Chains A and B, each alone.
Chain A
């Protein structure tokens, strides 16, 4: 058995989709990595249609990367995911402040 992470990601584009759905990506990884790096890799190598706030302050401070990971709101930049794991990615809020897929607008930033 190879080393994989199964990422299940919430998808919804209000301009195109009737309702939300999930995309499943099976990504080969050698060692644990941050959830944000995994999503960045998925968007760059597997699915260019995925939308996320692909930004990291590198300090786990700015809150750009906050999203639901396995049902809990977390900083994706420093939540580590390991080979062999199944991970569920959902936007920090839906339908409130939702833009597309994992992208939201923070209510304080409205």
Chain B
């Protein structure tokens, strides 16, 4: 069904990303059997991306008003309230759809439920494989989106096993490529054990390069992470993060993290830890030894599993001192979408972490799974409607495919003056860790942007081994070529927003400035250059107290 000559595959809806949002969007778009849907995933579905790494908590809330109010206040009013309201009201329906699919949804206390990533994806995948109108392209990476006359037309795809480059021609795209903070900083919760989950932000950048607006890209969440080699980057449960956190003199850094929105995942707490480290008061330690806590089993099997894993690795805080560092976690900014999840390119929809406007300046724990589920279904539905209403357009993509092939195959050519990818990545981490981290200022950000541009100049020199099949260095080089743009976007947006709000803190503009900056920062690519603009925040239901 998806055929034609070997170089071009056709469909009605293309879903990019095989995580929770992508799988659910694909289910929704294909459910009537009318449309041909292709799902492209960089790795095997349920065994790749960030979805399988999560704890699975999902906010439900018996009262949509409560959930809405919490998110907007925590987000410092930067959230688009029409989108948050939609999410708060739709979550029950979305969970019902999951239950109907056979996904275990466990109700917990206090307005939350648990849906585990691996289970959801495995069940979704099984159902998708059954559907004759769905094709799953796994171990395939999308490297470029194609837009013409303001509407999406297709994408360039790269088969990571055969090395073949081809076009997917489509009427609508759901971009569900997840997070972008995994590869930009030396520490990230996105990479358990330090092993990459490909959360490189290639989706954000491809949309930007095709002409879509991004918003609030300066809003990056940082979190406390264990530094011990055996459990590097492994996130514990919030329960483990009650502390106490102590500096090198034994002084407790924070009495009660729960006074802040987000608890130990709040920007206030992360800023405190950072300041202690910066003053030379590290190492920062979590020490729960001798607390004599009563053991009670977690209600969710996966949480028990994580606890047992932590014990097995010998890093249970109940028995050990755990050294803490700060790493990147989540990007609250993303593709600028309306309440149909449509971006500023017609027919390009976005769902999950790649979309902006949901969390504002701070993401509360448990709410990104909600975002993933609700907007996965919504974007799938809307993309399908769009595809039904639009005719196929005959296009030639010969220019795009030639350009992409040249870009991709450049890496496997011998270089006169080669440079290693790890050297460039280390340089990038150095810049981001130093100047685009928890505390920022004008000089640091300007210098970061300069250094990032210098690194960009050297990318064409990266040399990778010359074989086609599952070539890890080649895949990482391609990711790096896209993600370096993401680094510049974040640094530039951070320079643009001259105030402090949520996770974005400027030493030179330390106060929140609702009068001038209660707006979205917009980033777009025009005439080969990065440009900034602003856009109003949708404040339809609640305004900040003056």
Which A residues are closer than 8 A to B by beta carbons?
13-16, 31-34, 36-37, 40, 43-44, 48-64, 77-78, 99-101, 103, 105-106, 109
Contact = CB atoms under 8 A, between A and B. Distances in A.
Contacts of B234: 58
Contacts, number: 109
B247 interface: no
Interface stretch (B189-197, B257-265, B398-406): B189-197
Given A33-B229, A44-B422, A61-B305, A105 B44 contact: yes
B465 A48 contact: yes
Contacts of B309: 59-60, 78
A78 B44 CA distance: 20
Interface in B194-214: 194-198
A54 B467 contact: no
Contact of A58 (B53, B139, B464): B53
B48 interface: yes
Contacts of B44: 64, 105-106, 109
Interface in B428-479: 464-465, 467-473
A16 B469 CA distance: 10
Chain B contact patch, size range: 35 or more
Given A13-B467, A44-B422, A54 B45 contact: no
A contact patch SS: loop
A40 B470 contact: no
A44 B195 CA distance: 11
Interface of B: 43-48, 52-53, 117-118, 125, 138-139, 161, 192-198, 229-230, 233-235, 302, 305-306, 309, 312-313, 422, 464-465, 467-473
B105 to A, nearest CB: 17
A13 B44 CA distance: 20
A52 B45 CA distance: 17
Contacts of A37: 193-195
A105 B471 CA distance: 15
Contacts of A78: 309, 312-313
A99 B52 contact: no
Contacts of B465: 48-49
B323 to A, nearest CB: 15
Given A58-B234, A59-B53, 14 more contacts: A32-B230, A49-B465, A51-B472, A53-B47, A54-B196, A54-B472, A59-B118, A59-B192, A59-B302, A61-B302, A64-B43, A64-B47, A99-B469, A109-B125
Given A37-B193, A53-B47, A59 B469 contact: no
A57 B312 contact: no
Nearest to B420: A48
14 contacts: A31-B229, A33-B230, A37-B193, A52-B472, A53-B47, A55-B48, A57-B53, A58-B193, A59-B306, A60-B305, A62-B52, A62-B118, A100-B469, A109-B47
